[in-house]
Structure 1
Amino acid sequence: MGDKIRGAMAVGKTRWGMLALVFFATTLNYIDRAALGVMQPILAEKMSWTAMDYANINFWFQVGYAIGFLIQGRLIDKVGVKRAFFFAVLLWSLATGAHGLATSAAGFMVCRFILGLTEAANYPACVKTTRIWFPAGERAIATGIFNAGTNVGAMVTPALLPLILSIWGWEAAFIGMGFLGLVWLVFWALKYYNPEDHPRVKQSELDYIQQEAEPEPTKVALSQILRMRGTWAFALAYTITAPVFWFYLYWLPPFLNQQYNLGISVTQMGIPLILIWLTADFGSIGGGVLSSWLIGRGVRPTSARLASMLIFASTIVSVVFAANASGLWIAVLAIALAVGAHQAWTANIWSLVMDYTPKHLMSTVFGFGGMCAAIGGMFMTQIVGYVLTTTQNNYAVLFTLIPATYFTALLWLFFMAPRELPQTGD
């Protein structure tokens, strides 16, 4: 693997710079999201939120996210990733700052809806960037790296947020996060180009990136895309599994606080969350390395992805032991293994859809799948809120159901995922 990576780097490094841009965008995306879960105890006390209020706030984020995924994915394919993503990040940064002006649960619902509508552009844009800048053998590694930004964001938030809260308060925290997005926009506007337009990319690197035969770009109606087998292979599998990560993001801080009375300090709440998300980083990148290693040894991309996903689905079973763990660190270990395996799974399911989707349709197909997943997430937040309300905050049922979602999705992909890239635009 080391020799292969060194050989790939010899043909040029520009694509890794483009990957760095979407990595930092993903980090900011998840700082904005994770902040609400970390601040939930403070905001719930100040505004008298119930568990159902918090579930509804997250529900309206998912409503916006679902609508935004389809709109943003289609827009990115039509006007290009650079322009579409620029305006999306501009709007989501303003929406993040607006949280600092909210004074009630209803105000947070409005802000979260707008945030979801605009943040939905992140993954279609990142996947599109990876699809056009990386060949098949590097896609899972590249996907794992940019998706590691989710875990970095989730780690940075509990590490720094308590300090900001103690000095400036929760309003300033939201405004500061919005400002970070505006800083990123400057770098994106100046540095990002598509491969064929980049002023400094070497021809050898361009040839390496574009080694795979592609169908001729043609105008394809959305209705035609929705009839493609691969669209539904990805959409349903992603719908089943993606909401699990949102469950971790939104409900882990309340779970750990309730079970072990941690509070919101860096040492009490921050360290367990940092360890969980650090494990997720290793899973995200390691999951991509595994399938790329298999491809490098002659395994077909689809088979390499599916075999890797079976291993990660089996690892996720560890989360069952978290709800009734005898101590904090046993629970953290069980959750960390599951979250890391989830991120490894995600790196491969995203690479799988890239393998069989033409690049001029990539954001639309991914956006549709993301919309379906966000709709699943909407109902997931309601189900979680209902279960916790009726069982007096018992998480055991929720943790027990999680592993079954991955095996169900894997079975669906095994039968439905196309085995190769089509050589026509439809």
Structure 2
Amino acid sequence: MMKFKQLRWTMLVLFIAGVTLNYVTRNTLGVLAPELKQIFNISTQEYSWIVASFQFAYTIAQPFCGWILDYIGLKIGFLFFALIWAIVCMLHPLATSWVGLAVLRFFMGGTEAVATPANVKILTDWFPAKERAVAAGWSGVGFSFGAMLAPPLVVAIHLNFGWQAAFFVTGLMGLLWAGIWKFYYYHPSEHPMISSEEKAYILGDRTGKQEKLKMNLWDSFKSICRVKKFYGIAIPAFLAEPSWQTFSFFVPLYLATERGMNLKEIAMFAWLPFLAADIGSALSGYLAKGYMKHFHFSNNNATIWSSVSGAFLMISLAMVPFVDSPYAVIALISIGGFGHAIISAMLGVLIMENFESDRVASVNGLRGFSAWTSGFLFSLLIGVVVPKSGYLPIFVSMGFFDLIGAVFMIGFIYDRSKKIIQG
């Protein structure tokens, strides 16, 4: 069989494609929200419950998904969850009320939760430590590219074939990707297409490390939660997530109700913050390398400073309520998307820097649990606050959350031992 010299990047592209479809399917609802609210006579508060249903399932499932991936491996674990989320997406046309949508979103959230822990798992499996920051930046592109692709793709399908087709087609795309993953993805130690040189390069710094977790679910979680550095990751993740959830689920609604944009205008502009996030994610690893080169920081500390840089960019969100032009709104939210993507990618690198390879998916699952807990609560808060006070307090608070998270990151992780934590 043909051998590839850079197979690790091919596997990363395959994963990015899956995450892209993961985000296309989840963001289909957000893009169609103005239309579905009218079709089903859904109030803003009821819509917040639909979003919260997805978020609640996504939140509680992430630690479990992470443990599954560590325990049975990425290939089978990711395939199992991908098949389910694709099928559930295809079932959305059967919904007849907001309650039906909420039930479907719950099951979809519980299976799409695998994306976050899988991201760190593939980076740890396929890349040596010195390449992970850059690879993490590129892998994060899938998370924002799917959100960027969703508005024009979903609107195009909707306008030509109806809202039901938008859910069915995007779900079918996920199903087709799952088949490709089944046949082409393997761990580097057993991939039939990997060259011996690349295998040695990838696995050369892992002597004595486990590749699969041997602990049960509860013992694994307890060992992680005893590590102080975990909170330097979990707390910033908690404070960072509300902005991303708002971009995904509420910005199209905000542009329609507060800025007077119609569905076609939303399709034209709502993807720009996610394009900015793609760029921010791709550049984040190079930014960390720049800090290492010019300031002689360790990989750990350079990663932190890259994340802090993203936190300062998030201040742009606090300015959104104070500008009149909807195009200025898009620009400010796009700067926030750029900054958030930097933070998100670098949090994943910090996990790989500070935890054993046999538990990175579990740690990232718990990090995701922390993040999505705040996203879930913040969505409920939006449903209560916006009808009474508008979006001003929402955007202002999001502008400063990440700077607070940066303080915790520096306090718990910065300038400490770079040895792998055993837990």
- State the TM-score, normalizing by the size of structure 1: 0.92
Map 1:16-35 to 2 at 5 A: 16-35=9-28
Q: 5+ unaligned residues in a row in structure 2: which ranges?
A: none
C-alpha distance in 1, partners of 2:348/2:320? 27
What does residue 183 of structure 2 align with?
190
Map 1:58-97 to 2 at 5 A: 58-97=51-90
Map 1:224-243 to 2 at 5 A: 224-243=223-242
Letter aligned with residue 246 of structure 1: Q
Task: State whether residues 273 and 336 of structure 2, in contact with CA within 8 Å, keep that contact through their aligned partners in structure 1.
Answer: no
C-alpha distance in 1, partners of 2:143/2:209? 34
Task: State whether residues 69 and 120 of structure 1, in contact with CA within 8 Å, keep that contact through their aligned partners in structure 2.
Answer: yes
C-alpha distance in 2, partners of 1:148/1:422? 29
Q: Between 347-356 and 292-301, report the one with greater CA deviation.
A: 292-301
2:397 is the alignment partner of 1:398: no
Letter aligned with residue 225 of structure 2: L
SS of match in other structure, 2:189: helix
CA drift at 1:112: 0.5
What does residue 253 of structure 2 align with?
254
2:285 is the alignment partner of 1:291: no
Q: Which of 302, 305, 309 is the matching residue for 1:304?
A: 302
What does residue 214 of structure 2 align with?
219
Letter aligned with residue 347 of structure 2: I
SS of match in other structure, 2:271: helix
1:66 and 1:53, CA in 2 relative to 1: closer, same or farther beyond 3 A?
Answer: same
Alpha-carbon RMSD across the aligned residues, in angstroms, is 1.8
Task: State whether residues 355 and 420 of structure 1, in contact with CA within 8 Å, keep that contact through their aligned partners in structure 2.
Answer: no
C-alpha distance in 2, partners of 1:233/1:316? 19
C-alpha distance in 2, partners of 1:185/1:241? 30
C-alpha distance in 1, partners of 2:273/2:193? 39
Deviation string 1:194-232 (CA, Å, 9 cap, x unpaired) is 111112222322232234356532734222222122333
CA drift at 1:424: 6.6
What does residue 52 of structure 1 align with?
45
What does residue 410 of structure 2 align with?
414
C-alpha distance in 2, partners of 1:331/1:157? 19
What does residue 315 of structure 1 align with?
313
What does residue 3 of structure 1 align with?
none
Q: Which of 30, 42, 50 is the matching residue for 1:37?
A: 30
SS of match in other structure, 1:196: coil
SS of match in other structure, 2:214: coil
Task: State whether residues 311 and 402 of structure 2, in contact with CA within 8 Å, keep that contact through their aligned partners in structure 1.
Answer: yes
Letter aligned with residue 363 of structure 1: A
C-alpha distance in 1, partners of 2:155/2:214? 50
CA drift at 1:256: 1.1
What does residue 200 of structure 1 align with?
193
1:18 and 1:295, CA in 2 relative to 1: closer, same or farther beyond 3 A?
Answer: farther
Q: 5+ unaligned residues in a row in structure 1: which ranges?
A: 1-10
1:381 and 1:23, CA in 2 relative to 1: closer, same or farther beyond 3 A?
Answer: same
CA drift at 1:422: 4.1
C-alpha distance in 1, partners of 2:421/2:346? 24
CA drift at 1:342: 0.7
Task: State whether residues 215 and 424 of structure 1, in contact with CA within 8 Å, keep that contact through their aligned partners in structure 2.
Answer: no
Q: Between 410-419 and 338-347, report the one with greater CA deviation.
A: 410-419
Task: State whether residues 135 and 209 of structure 1, in contact with CA within 8 Å, keep that contact through their aligned partners in structure 2.
Answer: yes
C-alpha distance in 2, partners of 1:292/1:204? 25
Q: Which of 345, 356, 359 is the matching residue for 1:358?
A: 356
C-alpha distance in 1, partners of 2:348/2:209? 22
Identical pairs, percent = 28
Deviation string 1:1-46 (CA, Å, 9 cap, x unpaired) is xxxxxxxxxx931100110111011111110121111101110001
Deviation string 1:290-320 (CA, Å, 9 cap, x unpaired) is 1133345642111101111222111111122
CA drift at 1:369: 1.4
Q: Which of 328, 333, 336 is the matching residue for 1:335?
A: 333
Letter aligned with residue 275 of structure 2: L
What does residue 118 of structure 1 align with?
111
2:164 is the alignment partner of 1:168: no
Letter aligned with residue 88 of structure 1: F
CA drift at 1:423: 4.9
What does residue 274 of structure 1 align with?
271
CA drift at 1:406: 0.8
Q: Between 371-380 and 223-232, report the one with greater CA deviation.
A: 223-232
C-alpha distance in 1, partners of 2:174/2:186? 19
Task: State whether residues 151 and 280 of structure 1, in contact with CA within 8 Å, keep that contact through their aligned partners in structure 2.
Answer: yes
Task: State whether residues 281 and 342 of structure 2, in contact with CA within 8 Å, keep that contact through their aligned partners in structure 1.
Answer: yes
CA drift at 1:235: 1.8
Letter aligned with residue 148 of structure 1: V
Deviation string 1:115-139 (CA, Å, 9 cap, x unpaired) is 0100001121121001111123321
C-alpha distance in 1, partners of 2:421/2:140? 30
What does residue 6 of structure 1 align with?
none
Number of residue pairs matched?
A: 412
